[in-house]
Amino acid sequence: MQQHFSNKSQLGAFGEFIYKKFCNSHGIYIERTNFCHTDFFIKSGDQRHSHYVDVKTTLRATDKYSGKRYHDEIAYELIVISRDEVFFTPDFNSILRNHGRVKLGTLDTLINEWEQDSDVVKKRKRITDQLLLSKLEDQCANSKYPRIRFVERGAASATRWTGTVDNLPGTQSTINNADATIFLEYQCKDFQEDLSRILFIPHGLITANKIQMRQPNKRQKNKGIDRVIDLPAFVAEYPEYVFATIASLRTFLQN
């Protein structure tokens, strides 16, 4: 991978920055999403046309996206880094398709803009409704686990990434600052994102080394992660902490 990017996550973040910059320069409304394998929702200036977008960024010289398509409702927009230049090729069903293949600039110049842009660190929207999370926090405050932490995982990470979740268990300070983690995992079906399961992870089990860990993959090691929870092992060993619905989790917390 080109020296500017230490892993695919950084390459993807750069491509998303470039794409958003292009949309803004052409008066296209663009909103970051965390929904069903998508990065953005865009809308034409006249508000008549809109769709979800999955930005694909590649170092391979190509004229179009030829990978798997998960949903017809998604436009797969392509950012290509070829030698020292960056290009954008809109998808065939994109509202930007009339622009054709566009040279966006030199890589070094765009890298510099990306590194200085404050939006790089902007987090994606939560999938779970904030009011629901607040109610769970209130309930936990009166339980054996008053300090609670929430972690989400969307459909894309569940089906298209290797390895397990980066921030489970998280750093030692994260573990010390909460009594348990509520992990909400989502799946995308028929272009709807639904809660597939909930794992309740008591931090006391982590501290006592009673939860199986596994070695991080290469991408995770590059991010400084030294251990991750073996989720299949957790589900097998602690089925009493696995829930199908929020209602069943709330019943557990009441006991």
Q: All domains of the chain, ordered by start, with CATH?
A: 8-121 (3.40.1350), 130-254 (no CATH)
Check whether 118 has a pLDDT greater than 60: no
* Tens-digit pLDDT profile for residues 192-207: 888 999 999 999 999 9
The segment with the largest mean pLDDT, out of 6-10, 36-40, 130-134, 239-243, is 239-243
| The two structure tokens encoding residue 76 | 């797969």
* Tens-digit pLDDT profile for residues 211-246: 999 998 877 887 889 999 999 999 999 999 999 999
* Size of the chain, expressed as the number of residues it contains: 255
Q: Is 224 helix (H, G, I), strand (E, B) or coil?
A: coil
From residue 166, how far is each of 117, 157, 215, 225 by CA, in Å? 24, 10, 11, 7
How many alpha carbons fall within 13 Å on the CB side of residue 38?
24
pLDDT for 3: 67
Average pLDDT over residues 9-16: 89
Report d(CA 192, CA 77) in Å as an integer: 21
* Tens-digit pLDDT profile for residues 53-67: 999 999 988 888 988
